[in-house]
Amino acid sequence: MNATDYTFLLNKPEAVNERYADSLEKVIEQFPYFQSSRVMRLKHLYNQDSYKYNQELKKTAAYTCDRSILFDFITSNDFKAVQKGLYEKKLEELLNIQVVGSEIVMIENKNNSPINTLEQSIISSIKVSTPEEIIATENLSIGKPLTFSKDEKHSFEEWLQLARFKPIEREIKPETKPVIDNEKKKKLDLIDKFIENNPKIPAPNKNEITPVIEPKYEDTSYLMTETLARVYLEQKKYSKAIQAYEILILKYPEKSSFFADRINDIKILQQNN
């Protein structure tokens, strides 16, 4: 990719096609902190409705100096605008693919019956899902790009959080006695002497009234959106997702039936995961 092509894409990121996307991949590999290349690739994935978009959004945020700028970009109208005819063109390309020189290899199993090896490899690589799981996944739009609005910074920040925290493994080194200087030793001796004197804290007066501080519960339901519910789903936090839709039922009673259906879909996935 030359400078002219790159400048063109910066001014018109929706023009990124597969050829440009491959070139951007090479640029990112060589210059991982080149932020403009990452956001252009992100735009391409969004236009393609790619399942890679959500994870790439996290990665792009990790390489971005100011995430507020990234948030403003992905919530802008220019970013959300999908090039007209893109899906139709993609579908046409798929339908016009010609397969040349295909060959099916048959082998025999223990019962001497032939097995289609291609079919067998495909079946073994696919996780078996029930029809209910497939329908639930489609209804919940799992894997589809998350679309944030300008007032959903909380949802955006939730998505960028790690779903799991791994413990830090520290190397255990043999204990070595620290060298203590004279000044520090004097202070430690004073502390030991104070403890030896067995100081006592006076008991509180029984007649004294201790104030009771009631815990404050902050209402955060205003932060709940359908996007945040989807964020929890993508993170496989099914209980939180169900709670999110329950809050949405209270916020938007006119959509209660729709949200109730989504809760049922989540429960189907929850039982099988």
Amino acid at 21: A
User: What would the two tokens of residue 181 be?
Assistant: 């200087």
Domain assignment present for 71: yes
Domain assignment present for 103: no
Domain co-membership, 138 together with 245: yes
Looking at residue 126, its pLDDT comes to 47
Domain assignment present for 118: no
Domain assignment present for 216: no
Residue 51's domain comprises 3-80
Are the CB atoms for 134 and 38 separated by under 8 Å?
Answer: no
Of 39, 58, 80, which closes a domain?
A: 80
Domain co-membership, 134 together with 60: no
Are the CB atoms for 115 and 108 separated by under 8 Å?
Answer: yes
Residue 216 CA to residue 265 CA, distance in Å, equals 34
Looking at residue 119, its pLDDT comes to 53
What tens-digit pLDDT sequence spans the chain (273 residues)?
788 878 887 787 777 878 888 888 888 888 888 888 888 888 888 888 888 999 999 999 988 888 888 888 888 887 877 654 554 555 565 556 665 555 555 545 555 555 555 555 544 544 556 788 888 888 888 888 998 988 888 888 888 885 444 555 556 666 666 666 777 777 777 777 777 776 666 766 767 777 777 666 556 677 889 999 999 999 999 999 999 999 999 999 999 999 999 999 999 988 877
Domain assignment present for 210: no
Domain assignment present for 215: no
Looking at residue 14, its pLDDT comes to 74
Domain co-membership, 157 together with 248: yes
Domain co-membership, 255 together with 147: yes
Domain co-membership, 148 together with 228: yes
Structural domains counted in the chain:
2
Locate tokens 């690739």: which residue? 41
Residue 157 CA to residue 42 CA, distance in Å, equals 17
Residue 239 CA to residue 262 CA, distance in Å, equals 13
Domain co-membership, 34 together with 157: no
Domain co-membership, 24 together with 143: no
Residue 243 CA to residue 262 CA, distance in Å, equals 11
Domain co-membership, 157 together with 31: no
Domain assignment present for 67: yes
Domain co-membership, 153 together with 261: yes
Domain co-membership, 146 together with 234: yes
Domain co-membership, 144 together with 61: no
Domain co-membership, 147 together with 30: no
Q: Model's pTM, two decimal places?
A: 0.59
